[in-house]
Structure 1
Amino acid sequence: MKVLVMHGSKRKNGNTGLLAGEFIRGAEEAGHQVERVELGDMKFGDCLGCMACWKNPGKCVQKDDMTAVLEKFGQADAIVFASPMYFFSWTSLMKRGIDRLYPYMTIAKDKTFYLIVAGGVPEEKLFDNMLQDFQKYVECFNMHGGVNNRNGGHILGKGTLAPGNVKESSAMQEAYEMGKNLGKN
């Protein structure tokens, strides 16, 4: 299975990055091919909303670092959105990255989406905005011609405000297990 991990934080080794790393470790141990893209290292613009990609599915008129990510997205069986939670939502970097996946809305097929998020709040209900948005993103890939795309689940690194303290949480093992068990559910 090919897995694309889109990491939407400027801190590669922050709490979200650590969780993504455990997911990747589990997935690679299970024999999956994993690629992690660091959106914070890339130069790319916002979606223009021009709809040109609907005339040319899978292609964006912008020629920037997202061109390679779009190609990887098209080839991947599993997509992981890994983002810290800022003000009860995605980082702006992650949101821009997700918006640029628009060229695949009409043709995405048989993809399973996962969410990995770390946030300083201790209660799961405070992650509700992100979880609801994530489910809606997955549904978008089935609305206009995409088929059989599904929500594979999520990992929440709750109460992880201080750098590195996610290492002390059960979310690390959960992320590893989710990666290890890809495709088994």
Structure 2
Amino acid sequence: MKVVVITGSAHKKGTSAFLADKFIEGAIEAGHEVFRFDAAFEEVKPCLACEYCSTHHSNCVHKDSMGKLYTELADADMVVFSTPLYYYTMSAQIKAVMDRLHAKNAEFAGNKKAIIMASSYGDADWTMDGLDKTFDLILGYLNWEKVATLYATGCPVREVMEQKDFPQRAYELGRNVM
């Protein structure tokens, strides 16, 4: 299986990046092909809603790092998003990638499985509700199948997360993707 992992943290050693690392470790051990796209360290310009893509064969007006991501997504069976929780939803870096999928809606619709992993400082039972609802709506629009979520609540820093079972759960999730 070809898996694309898209991260949204500006911290290379942060909590959501750690979840992505562990997921990837498990997926590679299971024999899956993995491509990682660290959105915060790539050039991803915001969607302008200019509709250039609708009159130019789904090509975006921007010429940035999304070109290589589009290529990888075209062949992907699964897309995994790993983000820190910012104001009860995904980071701006992940949101920019999501917005830019607009150019390829027709090409990518209906043929992917998806996973969302997120980390947060807060640990209330409602902490991830905004992210979960937003993710469900986006997947519904794309007609992608959500196969798993991993919400690492109560993890303000990596040292705290390392003391919990979330990294192991991310690893197992990667090992068991189908």
Same fold (TM over 0.5): yes
Q: Note the C-alpha offset of 1:169.
A: 1.5
The residue number in structure 2 matching 1:145 is none
List, as ranges, runs of 4+ consecutive aligned residues in structure 1 with deviation greater than 6 Å. none
| 1:159 paired to 2:154 | yes
Q: Note the C-alpha offset of 1:59.
A: 2.6
| 1:172 paired to 2:149 | no
Q: Assess, with a 3 A threshold, how the Cα gap between structure 1 residues 15 and 49 changes in structure 2: closer, same or farther.
A: same
Q: Which runs of 5+ in 1 are unaligned?
A: 143-148
Q: Assess, with a 3 A threshold, how the Cα gap between structure 1 residues 106 and 37 changes in structure 2: closer, same or farther.
A: same
Q: Note the C-alpha offset of 1:63.
A: 0.6
Q: Assess, with a 3 A threshold, how the Cα gap between structure 1 residues 25 and 140 changes in structure 2: closer, same or farther.
A: same
Q: Assess, with a 3 A threshold, how the Cα gap between structure 1 residues 2 and 37 changes in structure 2: closer, same or farther.
A: same
Q: Is the 8 A contact 1:59 1:70 kept in 2?
A: no
Matches within 5 A, 1:28-47: 28-47=28-47
Q: Note the C-alpha offset of 1:57.
A: 5.1
> Could you tell me which amino acid in structure 2 is paired with residue 65 of structure 1?
S
| 1:95-134, Cα deviation, whole Å (9 max, x unpaired) | 1111111122222242001101000011332110001111
**TM-score (normalizing by structure 1):** 0.90
Q: Is the 8 A contact 1:74 1:104 kept in 2?
A: no
Q: What's the secondary structure of 1:117's corresponding residue?
A: strand
Q: Which runs of 5+ in 2 are unaligned?
A: none
For 1:60 and 1:71, the matched residues in 2 are separated by 13
For 2:116 and 2:162, the matched residues in 1 are separated by 18
Q: Note the C-alpha offset of 1:56.
A: 4.5
Q: Note the C-alpha offset of 1:61.
A: 2.1
The residue number in structure 2 matching 1:140 is 141
Moved more, 173-182 or 48-57: 48-57
Q: Note the C-alpha offset of 1:154.
A: 0.8
Q: Note the C-alpha offset of 1:44.
A: 2.3
Q: Is the 8 A contact 1:119 1:157 kept in 2?
A: yes
Q: Could you tell me the percent identity over the aligned residues?
A: 28
**TM-score (normalizing by structure 2):** 0.93
The residue number in structure 1 matching 2:114 is 113
> Could you tell me which amino acid in structure 1 is paired with residue 164 of structure 2?
S
The residue number in structure 2 matching 1:78 is 78
The residue number in structure 2 matching 1:97 is 97
For 2:75 and 2:99, the matched residues in 1 are separated by 18
Residue correspondences, number? 177
> Could you tell me which amino acid in structure 1 is paired with residue 101 of structure 2?
L
Q: Is the 8 A contact 1:14 1:164 kept in 2?
A: no
For 1:151 and 1:88, the matched residues in 2 are separated by 19
Q: Is the 8 A contact 1:57 1:106 kept in 2?
A: no
> Could you tell me which amino acid in structure 2 is paired with residue 130 of structure 1?
L
